[in-house]
Structure 1
C-alpha cells in the first residue's frame, strides 16, 4: 500500500511560531512551524474550540522543509493602561490591572512546505476542512493569515517523495542547477541524528510536552523554485495540487 501525505504551503508576509505556553513580556518565535501551531491551524479549519485537546489530530506527524527562512522581526505592543482603574483580560482567564507591555517576534517573508503523515481518512478530512474552514486559519498568530494557496492536497509516495517534488517557494539561485534547504523531522529522543527539541506537542489548554527533532540539509534541483512571476507561481502550485493528487 502506497503512503499518502497532505502537503501544506505556509507562506505569508508575517508568521510566528511561539514555543512558550505562558504569556511573558517577550513572545518568541522559532524559525520553523511548530507541531502545536500546525495542528492549531488544522483545528481552526475543523472548527475545534479554542483550548480543546488535539483529539484525532494527535495521530498526525509532520516534516518541515524550510523553503525560505525569512527575516526575524519584532514589534512592541501596549494593551490597556488608559486609567488607573482599568483591567485587561489575560490568557489564563483572569484580569490584569494597568498596561500590558509585550515584544513579539515574527518571521517576515518566510515560506515553508509542511508534509503531514497519518491515517489517510484523517488527511482527507483535514484537507477538506482547509478548503472550507470553519474558522480562519492563521500562521501562529491571528494577525498572520496564510497566503493562498496553502492547501496543496494529498499526494502518494510518502514524505520523502513530497520533499523532493513539491515546488520550492523561493527564487532559483544564480549560476547553479541545485538549491540546498533545511528539513526538520520528528525523531526519537535518543536518536543520534537529533539536533534540538521543542516544547510543542499540544495537550489542550496550553499544556505541551517535548518533541525531539533532527535538522538536516536537502539538495534539490533549482528548477523546483517558483520564482517571482505571480501568474506562473499560481499555475505551478495549482498543477502540483490537482495533476499529482491521488
Structure 2
C-alpha cells in the first residue's frame, strides 16, 4: 500500500534553483524535486555522501497555492583577500506551496516522523530560507493526485482574505509523470534537470525529469458573497439632480 506525505512549504523567502551557475543564482517558480529530496534527506540525518536512490524513487507533486513575488538580491561576499565576488540571487517571497510525496506506507511514516524531529536544520532551497511551521500537515492514505485534489487551500490567511470575493481559486499543479490521471486535461509538459543522483560535494550529479502540469480549482474558506445593492454609491446619474 502507498500513502502520501503532505507538506506545506511557506516562509518569508524561498529559492528553488535548478540551473544556478556562475554569478546568477536563479529560482524556479515552484519547489524542485532535488530540493525536496534534499529536505527529506536532511530530516533523516543523511550526509551528502549517503545514497539517496530510495528518496529519488518517490513520486512528487507540487501545488502552487500562493505564487508570491520574485525578489532579486545583489549579493557581495568579502573574502580574506581583497576580492569581493558579486552575484545576483533570486528568491520567491511571500509564497506557499503544497508538496505531496507518495511512496510505501512504512517509508512515508518514517519521513513524516523525521520532518517533525529533523536531524539537521531544514530550509526552503537555501540555508537563508527557514520554513514556517507546521511543515508537515498530514499523511494521506491513497494516491498523490487524491491528496493534491482533496487537501484544502494552503495560502496564508492574508492572501485568502485578499481574494475573498473568489469562491474558488485556480491553482497550478506540477507532478511527476503518471500522477495526474489520463482524464484530467494537462496544460503543458516540460523537462527539468532536477532529478538528483548524488549530493556528494565531489560528485554532485543530476539528471532530467519530465513533469506534467494542470490546474485545479480549490475552495476559498475566506469567501464572502457579494450581495447586489439597489442603490450603489459607485453608480452616479448626473441627470437625477435636474
Q: Scaled by the length of structure 2, what TM-score is found? A: 0.79
Secondary structure at 2:112 match in 1: helix
Cα 1:145/1:51, change in 2 over 3 Å: farther
- Structure 1's consecutive aligned runs of 4 or more residues displaced over 6 angstroms after TM superposition are none
Name whichever structure is richer in helix by fraction: 1
Tell me how far 1:51 sits from its aligned partner.
4.8
Distance 1:141 1:46 in 2: 18
Tell me how far 1:61 sits from its aligned partner.
1.2
Where in structure 2 are the equivalents of 1:191-210 lying within 5 Å? Answer: 193=186, 194-204=188-198, 205=200, 206-210=204-208
Distance 1:127 1:164 in 2: 20
* 2:144 counterpart of 1:144: no
**Alignment correspondent of 1:122:** 107
Where in structure 2 are the equivalents of 1:158-237 lying within 5 Å? Answer: 158-170=143-155, 171=160, 173-187=163-177, 193=186, 194-204=188-198, 205=200, 206-223=204-221
Distance 2:86 2:49 in 1: 24
Deviates further, 59-68 or 162-171: 162-171
Where structure 1 has 5 or more consecutive residues not aligned to the other structure, the ranges are 85-97, 227-246
Count of residue correspondences: 208
Secondary structure at 1:122 match in 2: helix
Tell me how far 1:82 sits from its aligned partner.
5.5
Where structure 2 has 5 or more consecutive residues not aligned to the other structure, the ranges are 224-242
Aligned-pair Cα RMSD in Å? 2.2
**CA deviation vs aligned residue, 1:68-121 (integer Å, no higher than 9, x gap):** 00100111222225634xxxxxxxxxxxxx332111110000000011001111
Q: Are the counterparts in 1 of residues 152 and 219 from structure 2 also a CA contact under 8 Å? A: no
**Alignment correspondent of 2:14:** 15
Q: Are the counterparts in 1 of residues 153 and 218 from structure 2 also a CA contact under 8 Å? A: no
